[in-house]
Chains A and B, each alone.
Chain A
Amino acid sequence: MPHAVAVTVNGTSYSREIEPTLLLVEYLRETLGLTGTHVGCDTSQCGACTVLVDGRATKSCTMLAVQADGADVITVEGLAKNGELHPIQRAFAKEHGLQCGFCTPGLMITAVDFLARNASPSDAEIRHAIAGNLCRCTGYHNIVNAIRSASAEMRQTAGAQPKVAAEVKR
């Protein structure tokens, strides 16, 4: 039996009739065509599918789309605002924090949630925070650098935008 579900994704409201078994990641990728969110495993280990659900990093393969009814979802496609990249996006590019780019959307989203809760993390805290996101290319070295670099930039501009969470939640 299809269910009516209303979800706000990257600031746009969508109402769709969907199967109750549809995963949130399938809803994003196949129903809405937002293919920037990737599927890297089927056991919730890799984190490639991580999106923000009401501001919290969530593995979208572990959540049914019907559970997201009424939620505010941000995917990688929604990180940039008015054509300007999010600091985490700029930092991943600047620090060579990606190679093949498959895990990158999930890692950036996890980092955005993490930095909203810890604006000035140590490297050990960064490594712990992203331990649920696998990357096979970078060895994490430059991802840690990127998240540290983004945190510094976001602290600098914190006067203009006091809450990072506000920025991503819009």
Chain B
Amino acid sequence: MTATTAPTYIGTRVARKEDARLITGDGTFTDDVTLPGMAYLTLVRSPHAHARIRRIDTEAAKKEPRVVAVFTGKDLEATGMLPVFINVPSMNGSKHMPIATDKARYAGDAVAAVVADSRDAAKRAADLIAVDYEPLPVVVDATKALEPGAPLVHEELGSNLVFTYPVKGGDIDKAFKDAEVKVTQRIVNQRLIPNAMEPRAVTAKFEAGELTLWSSTQIPHFVQLIAALNLGLGQNKVRVIAPEVGGGFGSKLQVYAEELLVGYLAKTLRRPVKWTEDRREGYLATIHGRDHVSDVEIAAKKDGTILGLRVRTVANVGAYLQAFAPAIPTILHVFIVPGPYRIPAFDYEMRGAYTNTTPVDAYRGAGRPEAVYLIERVVDRLADEIGMDPAEVRRKNFIPADAFPFNTISGITYDSGNYEPALDRALAMADYKGFEKRRAEAKTRGKYRGIGISSYVEICGLAPSKANAALGVGWGGYESARIRVHATGTVQVFTGTSPHGQSHETSWAQIAADALGISPNDIEVRHGDTFESPGMGVGTFGSRSLAVGGIAVHKAAVKVREKVVQIGAHILEASPADVVVEGGKVFVKGVPDKAKSFGDISMAAYLANNLPDGMEPGLEATVYYDPPNFTFPFGTHIAEVEIDGETGSVEIVKYSACDDCGRQINPMIVEGQLHGGITQGIGQALYEGAVYDSNGQLLSGSMMEYHVPRADDVPAFDLESTVTLTGTNALGVKGIGEAGTIGSTPAAGNAVMDALSPLGIKHIDMPLTPEKLWRAIRAAGEGRR
């Protein structure tokens, strides 16, 4: 650590600063913002997954009472295109307008807009808009979309292929030639619907040449940037505010059509405009996640040594490329597939495909859950094939602790790691040794009991800006922080991160408090307002906030501290080396009774009549921190399940996890992130899945058909941690936002498959619903007939 004193608040369970307003109803979410004279936007969305728009008749809608204006796509082309921030090699980018003009490419694609004095009036008018559609052939399945003759989602591209992304290392042919055992498995990582509890919402007003736009977003600065560029406003005239944001999980990591539309309409109509998503609308029009189909082959020796891994995957990107979509199945997926294992040969080809479905982009973990599920399922299949304990196959192939920094076969460098202690701890927590006895006991009750392990490594701390550029990411990966100490000693931290549940107000205050020698209670952390922030914030996604944004806060606080020391030394007539800053006091080492208060020093900084020669008045520091490398958190999760042979239903009877995110700023918050992440990952393993019919209709179209885990679907979680500091940043922190989701899906999936392995069942695709398991159990000749 750069701070000279030992941490006081870092590492402790400081109560959250966010809670006071959120438990009393005082928090303001975007839909809570209501302004005088507000008009309401409703979008008309295509019921067809693929249809040419022949004609749109808006006359009846325009005559409805209280309607302000009705627009088609052509009327709104001035909003410009929706951005894609990624350009991977060979990419076939799509044109994406906020409102489709030529044809609808998925069910839910917006085709017209209504603005009215009330939500109800807007909706009534929207129902009166008559669109003459010419339905076109539909392609839903990504693999079929790449076959010759498939309907083209974007005719001008000549193909539905978005990109081909190959990553190779080692001699894959030799690996398979030398193999004593090969396992081939098709792995489907099904499409998910993010389901942040707060539906998206946008509110905007345009006054005195200035657009203020409230949005439920994870990236207010990118919304500001694109709104300014697209709407022809100076960036200084666009203020984007992400107030309370009710969860994101990647689904609000976009510049969405509705943000540009609401901004444009507020500016054009000269009155405040609001749009709030219905949940069912959100299921169609907010991005989905995952949706990979992979063919995996693993080559190994009979003793469990992995020799090589060959993967061919098709990723369904949906009808359009969204902001970060091309990065998810490539940069954030392919490189991490080897996981914690030393794999000598690797051959991965990822292809992306357009289909007539809702666009797919980042959903919690974003590429990494797909990677870890893939490798962890295949490692279990290998263990089954050679009759070896899955824990021992993992141990045998782990990158040894003394091999770091380790260059992976996929071409990245893990700076640090120590995988065996986390595995051992998780095995002990799960009483892995005693499992077979529990399996036998469960059998006597008609239950199939299984245990599943998942050992993961993930990439966080996105990202060094030069690495971003080399990988095709069109923006830097830094983060910003400004710390302002007022004359009276009150402290504000302005961060470029944009939390939506991650507790940055608390953690950043802890970080700044330790550097400034004051209490977190005396520090206010502000975020999500582009007119308050240092100028550019990259935002909150990819478990990056602490390892990049938290470090920016630390560095800014250290700068302020250095100035406090200088001023203190001057006033106390001592050498800066002898000045101590702690407990809200500034004093000469050994003379605490002659201390000045932190406020005395800040006041001196602004009175400015007794400062060291040449020192600028004021007490403030701004830092843009660009990380030198990614971070690589890791851990092992173990799920134990019982399956009812009569119904196929799964109960998770025990869940143990040992995660290593480096130094923990606030263990309470770390655990909270894990609990939620694990539950989302279990959701994918057991319950969740977006289902389309062959016409491109989303059958899982509401919370009635799509199973978001409920409190009685999941157990309490048993969590422990190891601490392997990264040397990449000053605090040794790595990130924990997605680890739970990444670790839990394969643990739960492997546990279910282990439970059914005595029946000879090798693999069932997720979600592992009672119906699927019931059928599989019966097909295996078991259960009641």
| Set of chain B residues within 8 Å of A98, measured between Cβ atoms | 19, 22-23
Residue interface mask A16-37, B partner, CB < 8 A = 1: 0000010000000110011111
Q: Which of B18, B249, B703 contacts A101 (CB 8 A)?
A: B18
User: A41 an interface residue at 8 Å Cβ cutoff?
Assistant: yes
Q: Which of B31, B668, B702 contacts A39 (CB 8 A)?
A: B31
| Set of chain A residues within 8 Å of B714, measured between Cβ atoms | 139-140
Main secondary structure of the interface of B (DSSP, over half): loop
| Set of chain B residues within 8 Å of A50, measured between Cβ atoms | none
On whether A43 and B245 interact (CB within 8 A), knowing A136-B680, A137-B676, the answer reads no
Kindly provide the distance from the CB of B39 to the nearest chain A CB, expressed in whole angstroms: 15
Complex Cα distance, B195 from A134, in Å, reads: 10
Q: Which of B191-213 contact A (CB under 8 A)?
A: 195-199
Contact A144 B23, beta carbon cutoff 8 Å: no
Complex Cα distance, B491 from A77, in Å, reads: 29
| Set of chain A residues within 8 Å of B195, measured between Cβ atoms | 134, 136
Q: Which of A115-170 contact B (CB under 8 A)?
A: 123-124, 126-128, 130-144
Contact A102 B247, beta carbon cutoff 8 Å: yes
Kindly provide the distance from the CB of A108 to the nearest chain B CB, expressed in whole angstroms: 7
Segment of A1-9, A52-60, A62-70, A89-97 in the binding face? A89-97
Complex Cα distance, B716 from A123, in Å, reads: 9
Kindly provide the distance from the CB of B24 to the nearest chain A CB, expressed in whole angstroms: 6
Kindly provide the distance from the CB of A66 to the nearest chain B CB, expressed in whole angstroms: 16
Contact A36 B26, beta carbon cutoff 8 Å: yes
User: A76 an interface residue at 8 Å Cβ cutoff?
Assistant: yes
Contact A108 B500, beta carbon cutoff 8 Å: no
Complex Cα distance, B672 from A47, in Å, reads: 21
Q: Which of B19, B120, B711 contacts A140 (CB 8 A)?
A: B711
Complex Cα distance, B657 from A8, in Å, reads: 48
Complex Cα distance, B675 from A35, in Å, reads: 28
Contact B249 A136, beta carbon cutoff 8 Å: yes
| Set of chain B residues within 8 Å of A131, measured between Cβ atoms | 710-712
Q: Which residue of B lies closest to A88 (CB)?
A: B23
Q: Which of A99, A101, A139 contacts B717 (CB 8 A)?
A: A139
Q: Which of B452-503 contact A (CB under 8 A)?
A: 500-503
Contact B25 A139, beta carbon cutoff 8 Å: no
On whether A142 and B197 interact (CB within 8 A), knowing A134-B710, A136-B680, the answer reads no
Q: Which of B24, B28, B279, B717 contacts A40 (CB 8 A)?
A: B279
| Set of chain B residues within 8 Å of A108, measured between Cβ atoms | 23
Kindly provide the distance from the CB of A125 to the nearest chain B CB, expressed in whole angstroms: 10
Complex Cα distance, B726 from A1, in Å, reads: 66
Complex Cα distance, B714 from A91, in Å, reads: 21
On whether A134 and B703 interact (CB within 8 A), knowing A36-B26, A38-B198, A139-B714, the answer reads yes
Contact B28 A35, beta carbon cutoff 8 Å: yes
| Set of chain A residues within 8 Å of B669, measured between Cβ atoms | 96
Count of chain B residues with Cβ under 8 Å from any Cβ of A? 57
User: A46 an interface residue at 8 Å Cβ cutoff?
Assistant: yes
Q: Which of A96, A101, A123, A130 contacts B244 (CB 8 A)?
A: A101
Q: Which of A21, A46, A77 contacts B25 (CB 8 A)?
A: A77
| Set of chain B residues within 8 Å of A124, measured between Cβ atoms | 712
On whether A141 and B19 interact (CB within 8 A), knowing A35-B32, A36-B26, A37-B25, the answer reads no
Q: Which of B702, B710, B717 contacts A141 (CB 8 A)?
A: B717
| Set of chain A residues within 8 Å of B500, measured between Cβ atoms | 100
Contact A99 B703, beta carbon cutoff 8 Å: no
User: B15 an interface residue at 8 Å Cβ cutoff?
Assistant: yes
Contact B23 A100, beta carbon cutoff 8 Å: no
Complex Cα distance, B198 from A105, in Å, reads: 13
User: B183 an interface residue at 8 Å Cβ cutoff?
Assistant: no
Kindly provide the distance from the CB of B696 to the nearest chain A CB, expressed in whole angstroms: 22
Contact B246 A101, beta carbon cutoff 8 Å: yes
Contact B712 A92, beta carbon cutoff 8 Å: no
Kindly provide the distance from the CB of A157 to the nearest chain B CB, expressed in whole angstroms: 19
Kindly provide the distance from the CB of B326 to the nearest chain A CB, expressed in whole angstroms: 26
| Set of chain A residues within 8 Å of B280, measured between Cβ atoms | 42-43
| Set of chain B residues within 8 Å of A39, measured between Cβ atoms | 31, 199
Complex Cα distance, B279 from A94, in Å, reads: 31
Contact B245 A40, beta carbon cutoff 8 Å: no
Q: Which residue of B lies closest to A130 (CB)?
A: B711
Kindly provide the distance from the CB of A118 to the nearest chain B CB, expressed in whole angstroms: 15
| Set of chain A residues within 8 Å of B676, measured between Cβ atoms | 99, 135-139
User: B27 an interface residue at 8 Å Cβ cutoff?
Assistant: yes
Complex Cα distance, B700 from A43, in Å, reads: 13
Complex Cα distance, B668 from A93, in Å, reads: 11
User: B591 an interface residue at 8 Å Cβ cutoff?
Assistant: no
Contact B708 A136, beta carbon cutoff 8 Å: yes
User: B29 an interface residue at 8 Å Cβ cutoff?
Assistant: yes
On whether A102 and B198 interact (CB within 8 A), knowing A93-B20, A139-B714, the answer reads yes
Contact B703 A45, beta carbon cutoff 8 Å: yes
Complex Cα distance, B652 from A127, in Å, reads: 14
Q: Which of A37, A93, A141 contacts B15 (CB 8 A)?
A: A93
Complex Cα distance, B668 from A37, in Å, reads: 27
> B19, B25, B703 — which one has the most chain A CB atoms within 10 A of its CB?
B25
Kindly provide the distance from the CB of A110 to the nearest chain B CB, expressed in whole angstroms: 10
Complex Cα distance, B372 from A108, in Å, reads: 36
Residue interface mask B246-261, A partner, CB < 8 A = 1: 1101000000000000
Q: Which of A104, A123, A143 contacts B22 (CB 8 A)?
A: A104
User: B679 an interface residue at 8 Å Cβ cutoff?
Assistant: yes
Kindly provide the distance from the CB of A93 to the nearest chain B CB, expressed in whole angstroms: 4
On whether A142 and B675 interact (CB within 8 A), knowing A105-B25, A131-B712, the answer reads yes
User: A79 an interface residue at 8 Å Cβ cutoff?
Assistant: yes
On whether A141 and B716 interact (CB within 8 A), knowing A41-B702, A136-B676, the answer reads yes
Complex Cα distance, B740 from A140, in Å, reads: 14
Residue interface mask B238-275, A partner, CB < 8 A = 1: 00000011110100000000000000000000000000
Q: Which residue of A lies closest to B199 (CB)?
A: A40
Residue interface mask B97-128, A partner, CB < 8 A = 1: 00000000000000000000000100000000
Kindly provide the distance from the CB of B195 to the nearest chain A CB, expressed in whole angstroms: 6
On whether A43 and B703 interact (CB within 8 A), knowing A35-B25, A101-B501, A135-B197, the answer reads yes
| Set of chain B residues within 8 Å of A71, measured between Cβ atoms | none
Q: Which residue of A lies closest to B196 (CB)?
A: A136
On whether A142 and B672 interact (CB within 8 A), knowing A43-B279, A136-B708, A137-B501, the answer reads yes
User: B704 an interface residue at 8 Å Cβ cutoff?
Assistant: yes
User: A112 an interface residue at 8 Å Cβ cutoff?
Assistant: no
Q: Which residue of B lies closest to A95 (CB)?
A: B668
> A43, A76, A101, A108 — which one has the most chain B CB atoms within 10 A of its CB?
A101
On whether A100 and B198 interact (CB within 8 A), knowing A36-B24, A138-B675, A144-B711, the answer reads yes
Q: Which residue of B lies closest to A143 (CB)?
A: B711
Complex Cα distance, B672 from A144, in Å, reads: 13
| Set of chain B residues within 8 Å of A126, measured between Cβ atoms | 711
Q: Which residue of B lies closest to A79 (CB)?
A: B24
Contact B20 A43, beta carbon cutoff 8 Å: no
User: B677 an interface residue at 8 Å Cβ cutoff?
Assistant: yes
Complex Cα distance, B671 from A123, in Å, reads: 19
Complex Cα distance, B710 from A94, in Å, reads: 22
User: A48 an interface residue at 8 Å Cβ cutoff?
Assistant: yes
Kindly provide the distance from the CB of B21 to the nearest chain A CB, expressed in whole angstroms: 8
Q: Which residue of A lies closest to B27 (CB)?
A: A101
| Set of chain A residues within 8 Å of B29, measured between Cβ atoms | 35, 38, 102
Contact A101 B22, beta carbon cutoff 8 Å: yes
On whether A92 and B19 interact (CB within 8 A), knowing A36-B24, A139-B678, the answer reads yes
Q: Which of B651-673 contact A (CB under 8 A)?
A: 668-669, 671-672
| Set of chain B residues within 8 Å of A48, measured between Cβ atoms | 197
**B: which residues have CB within 8 A of A?**
15-16, 18-20, 22-29, 31-32, 34, 120, 195-199, 244-247, 249, 278-280, 500-503, 668-669, 671-672, 674-680, 702-704, 708-712, 714, 716-717, 740
A-B contact pairs, 8 of them (CB 8 A): A36-B26, A92-B19, A94-B15, A99-B247, A133-B711, A134-B195, A137-B676, A140-B711
State the 9 A-B residue pairs at the shortest beta-carbon distance, nearest first: A36-B25, A102-B246, A101-B22, A139-B679, A100-B501, A99-B501, A139-B675, A45-B703, A35-B32
